[in-house]
Each structure stands twice: as structure tokens, then as C-alpha cells.
Amino acid sequence: MTFVQLIECRTSRLDEMNRLMDDWVTQTRGRRTATHALVGRDRSDASHIVEVVEFPSYAEAMRNSKLPETGQIFQEMVALCDETPTFMDLDVVRDERLSEDTVRRFYGALATAGELPPLNDLLDEDVHSHDPVNPQDTIGLDNARAEYRMWRAAFDFTFTVEDVLAQGDRACARWTWNATHKGDFLGIAATGRNVTMTGMTLFRFTDHGKIAETWWQHDQLGLMQQLGALDELEQ
């Protein structure tokens, strides 16, 4: 179970504390077990500092606290505080990664049976799509829907989302696309062939959590080869 330690303190020497934490990161590189650390300053009280540190488990947090550098840094941190820091140990009982959920819902919507969903709950009206296969970017929700309909008219397909990594207003997904060629695609008549394509997509989100921009990378050369479009060139 993921474990989080919440540390509260008061200090007017935040810059020095940040340098201290940078030193700790350098000294414990390769041995520390924390996976994520976030420091916040109270907008209504600039001396009130809150740090949230995430660990894979309570056991890993305890292993981290036993590093000799951790004890030394703690003593130096206390010296920078106006009062003794307080600690709260938390077992994470709910962890919603909202951007990851949006990415997975997006791929599910693209592959849904029947009519293409409106997608306005997932995509911003001014969404920008970058694809090296297209000579120009696709801009706007209506144009993005038109491009998705083109793919859906040519293939029955599903996405398998292998990995999603999210940070800040960005997320990156690695996926596998399995499809049956049922209609015209770039001048190639339906072949009925089962084809596979792998790729990655980088997403940027708006402040409201909708997808504002996408960058696609996929093996379209491999797809064309599977469709037989390169047969004459290979002879």
C-alpha cells in the first residue's frame, strides 16, 4: 500500500531548506526510496510550509528514514525551523490519477462501437493534433472528429493501452492498435486483413482537465506493409 508522510513546519528560511533538501537528494542518490516529493507554502501564511513525501509502502519509508544522511538532514532542517516540525503518517486509501483516466477513456471512446461519441467531455474545442503523417496539424474539435471518423470508416479497431505516465499537465501513453481493414484507407481498398500497429501519444491538458494537444507517433510504415501497399516496391 502506498504510504505518504506529511511534514509541517514554520520557517522564514525556505531557500536554505530547499538547498538542504537538494543536498540530501544528492547524498542519497540510488538509495532513497521516496518516489515523489512536493513542497507547498501557505498563501495566507508564508512561513507555514507543508511537505508531502510519497513512498511505495510504509516499510520503504522506514528504510529511507534509517539512512544516516536522513537523520543528519533532519537535524539541520529542525535548526532552520521556527518550531519543531510535525509529522503525519498516512496510508493512501484512494489515489485518483485523473489525467491517466482521461487518456484511457479517450482511447476507449475512439474504439467504441456505433457512432463516434461527441468527445466534448474529453477534448478542448481548440484541440491541436500533431501527426508526422499529416502535412498540417489538425486544429479544432470538429476537424479532430473528422479525422477519427476517417480511421473508423477504414478499420474496426481496438486500443490496448500498455502504459500511461503522467506529470503536471502532460501524459504519455504507449499503446497497441489491433484492427481489421474494412474500408478505403489512403486509396487502398478494403483488404479484410487483420493488422497491428504500435505507437505513443503525448497529451497536454487544459486547466480544466480536457485534452488540449496531442502528439502522435506510430508505425504507419509497418501498417502500410501489412496492407500490401509496399508489395510492388519490394519486388
CATH code given to domain 98-234? 3.10.450.50
Both ends of the chain: CA-CA distance in Å? 57
β-sheet with 48-55: strand ranges across? 36-41, 48-55, 3-10, 86-91
For residues 129 and 213, give the distance between their C-alpha atoms in angstroms, rounded to a whole number. Answer: 6
Q: Residue 184: what pLDDT?
A: 96
For residues 189 and 182, give the distance between their C-alpha atoms in angstroms, rounded to a whole number. Answer: 8
Q: Residue 28: what pLDDT?
A: 86
For residues 20 and 132, give the distance between their C-alpha atoms in angstroms, rounded to a whole number. Answer: 44
pTM for the full predicted model? 0.76
Q: Residue 67: what pLDDT?
A: 87
Q: Per residue of the chain (235 residues), give pLDDT as tens.
A: 789 999 999 999 989 988 888 888 888 888 888 888 889 999 999 999 999 999 999 999 899 888 888 888 888 888 999 988 998 999 989 877 889 999 999 999 999 999 999 999 999 999 999 998 888 999 999 999 999 999 999 999 999 999 999 988 999 999 999 999 999 999 999 999 999 999 999 999 999 999 999 999 999 999 999 999 876 555 4
β-sheet with 194-205: strand ranges across? 138-139, 123-130, 211-218, 194-205, 170-181, 155-167
DSSP 137: -
Read off the C-alpha cell for 7.
511534514
User: How many alpha carbons lie under 13 Å from residue 176 in its C-beta half-sphere?
Assistant: 5
Q: Residue 180: what pLDDT?
A: 98
**Domain limits of the chain?**
3-91, 98-234
CATH code given to domain 3-91? 3.30.70.100
